Amino acid sequence: MKRAGLFGVPRLGPWSWQAFLLGLAVVAVSAVIQGLCVLLGAKLYFAAFLPGLFGLALMTGAPAAAFAALLTVPLVWWAFIPPFFEFNALTSAHADSINLFCLLAVLLIGLADLCRATVTMVRNGGLKPSGESAATNPQ
């Protein structure tokens, strides 16, 4: 496990088994939180999974976060979309919820990947001057 250098966030290799295990743990913790939200009456099926997915993508990278997102869809379909704990045909509203989650997951994973690249660039000393500035015109 490496330190990112910015805020001391631990970083794992994108394809390491620890990253995928952490992805599984994040999905499990998010499912427990989502279950508590459902008990309190919330009908937002993927609400607890999105922040965990973003944090996971920041710490581990895109592959483990994509694995967690793909694992989340059947889990929510089975456990949180009525009738609970069985797979049934999706209504158009439920299919729209899944499509919106997939869109948000792709955007969040992409944003987290850009943040990881920025942290790596800052840790390595930032951008190096190329000699010529784009703002100057040599004519």
The C-alpha atoms of residue 121 and residue 40 are separated, in whole angstroms, by 43
pLDDT, tens digit (0-9, with 9 covering 90-100), for 32-64: 999 999 999 888 899 999 999 999 999 999 999
pLDDT, tens digit (0-9, with 9 covering 90-100), for 77-100: 999 998 889 999 999 999 999 999
The C-alpha atoms of residue 48 and residue 133 are separated, in whole angstroms, by 46
pTM above the 0.75 mark? yes
pLDDT, tens digit (0-9, with 9 covering 90-100), for 58-79: 999 999 999 999 999 999 999 9
DSSP E strands: which ranges in the chain? 2-3, 10-11
pLDDT, tens digit (0-9, with 9 covering 90-100), for 18-33: 999 999 999 999 999 9
The C-alpha atoms of residue 13 and residue 107 are separated, in whole angstroms, by 21
